[in-house]
Amino acid sequence: MAVERSLLEVNNLETGFRFGDVYHNAVDDVSLTLENNEILAIVGESGCGKSTLATSIMGLHDPKNTEIKGEVIYKDLNLLDLNEKLYNRIRGNDIGMIFQDPLGSLNPLMTIYNQISESLEYHSDLNEEQRRARVLELLNQVGIPRPEQIMKNYPHELSGGMRQRVVIAIALANKPPVIIADEPTTALDVTIQAQILDLMVDIQDETGSGIILITHDLGVVAETADRVAVMYAGQIVEEAPVEELFANPKHPYTRSLLNSIPHELEDDDDELHVIHGTVPSLQKLPRKGCRFAPRIPWIPEDSHEENPVLHEISPNHKVRCTCWKHFHFEGEDE
C-alpha cells in the first residue's frame, strides 16, 4: 500500500562545515515534513542553524567545505542527489526562497522589472508581453504602489520595506509549491510586517503552497504558523501545532524563550527571564550529551539524559528527552 507522501520531507539531514580537517554540524539530524497549505515555522536563537537548514534544502552549499547527509524528498526525488542543472530547475520553479538579507539578494545594477522578469524567463515560456503583465500583477500583489513606475527603478531607490516586497515577488513569481522564507519581515515596521504576512497567507490560499517560515519573532509565529519546530544548536528540540506549543510548551528551551518576551511587569522589581550563557559556536558544541544542559545549570547533572531523542508525547507534539518532566526555572520549586 502506498503511503501518502508529504509535499516536502527532510530526513535525518546533517550539514557540517569544514574547520581544518573536521566537519562540525550546524544542522544535526533534522527530520521535518511540510504539507500543502501549511505554514511550518522554525524558531530559535541566532546561530541555531535555521538558515543553514534552509540553504541545505535549496542545495546552496559549497561542496568543498560542506558535508551534507540525509535526504530532502520532493516529488519522490532526493534533491540532494540532483546535479546542479536539475537543482536549478527546482529552485525558483518548485521551491522559492526569500533570503534573510533582502538587499544582498537583489542585483543593484538591474531594474526591478528586469530582475523579476529574468526569473520568469528562466522558468516559464511566457512571451515578453505576458511577462510584463505578470510582473505588474506580482508587484500589485505584494502591495507596491505605482508599480509601472517602481518597476523601472533600481533597488537603492526603494525603501527597505519595498525591497523586501520585491524579493518576495521574485520568490513567488512562478507560484512555487514550496516557499522557504528566511526572516521575511525582520527589520520591517509592524504595519508593513502585517501586510507581508497577510500577503503570504493570501498567496497560500490561492496556490495551496507549503511555507517554511524561519523567524525568531514568536509573535509572528503565533499569528501565522500552523506548526512550529523549535531549534537549538542544530537540533529540533520541540515540535507541535502552534496552539499546543503556546499553551503547553514542554522543552526547557521553549519555555525559556517564551519567558524572555518583553511584557509589562507587575512589580517594578521584576525582571525578564534571561537564559544562562550563550548558544555555543560550532567548534565548542558538546559532541556528547545534552546540548542545552549547560544553560540550565541549576538542574542536577543526573536528571539530564546522555543523548536525548525526540519523543512524541501527545499526537503531533514531539519533545527531545524526557527530563522536561522535572524541569523548573531557577528559584522555582520543582
Partner 1 sequence: MGFLEVRDLKVHYPIRGGVLNRVQDHVKAVDGVNLSIESGKTYGLVGESGSGKTTIGKTIIGLEKATSGKILYEGEDVTNKARSRNKKFENYNKDIQMIFQDATSSMNPKKRIIDVMSEPMRNYFNYTPQETKKRVADLLEIVGMNAEAMYKYPHEFSGGQRQRIGVARAVASDPKLIIADEPTSALDLSVQAQVLNFMRRIQKEYDLSYLFISHDLGVVQHMSDDIAIMHRGRFVEQGSKEEIYKNPQHIYTKRLLSAIPDMDPTTRAAHKVERQRVEAEYDAQETDYYDPKGRVYDLQRYDEEHYVALKPEEPNASLQNENVNTGGGN
Ligand X SMILES: Nc1ncnc2c1ncn2[C@@H]1O[C@H](COP(=O)(O)OP(=O)(O)OP(=O)(O)O)[C@@H](O)[C@H]1O
Q: What is the DSSP letter of 6?
A: P
Which residues in this chain contact ligand X in the complex, by CB under 6 A?
17, 26, 44, 46-52, 100, 216, 281-282
109 or 247: CB nearest partner 1: 247
Task: Check binding of 330 to ligand SF4 (CB under 6 A).
Answer: no
Nearer to ligand X, 62 or 269 (CB): 62
DSSP character string of 250-266: -SHHHHHHHHTS----S
Contacts of 247 (CB under 8 A, 6+ apart): none
Strands of 66-74's sheet, edge to edge?
A: 22-34, 8-19, 66-74, 77-78
> Minimum Å distance from CB 52 to ligand X?
3
**Per rule CB under 6 A, is residue 324 in the interface with ligand SF4?**
yes
Nearer to ligand SF4 (CB atom), residue 131 or residue 320: 320
- φ, ψ (nearest 5 deg) of residue 195: -60, -40
Given the rule CB under 6 A, which of 79-87, 95-103, 151-159, 288-296 is the region that contacts ligand SF4?
Answer: 288-296
The answer to whether 318 contacts ligand SF4 (rule: CB under 6 A) is: no
Cell of 113: 522589472
Asked if 222 interacts with partner 1 (CB under 8 A), we say yes
**Residues 312/306/230/27 CA torsion (nearest 10 deg):** -120
Q: Is 293 in the site for ligand SF4 (CB under 6 A)?
A: yes
Amino acid at site 214: I
The residues binding partner 1 (CB under 8 A) are: 45-46, 159-161, 187-194, 198, 216-220, 222-223, 225, 242-243, 246-247, 256-257, 260-265, 271-275, 278
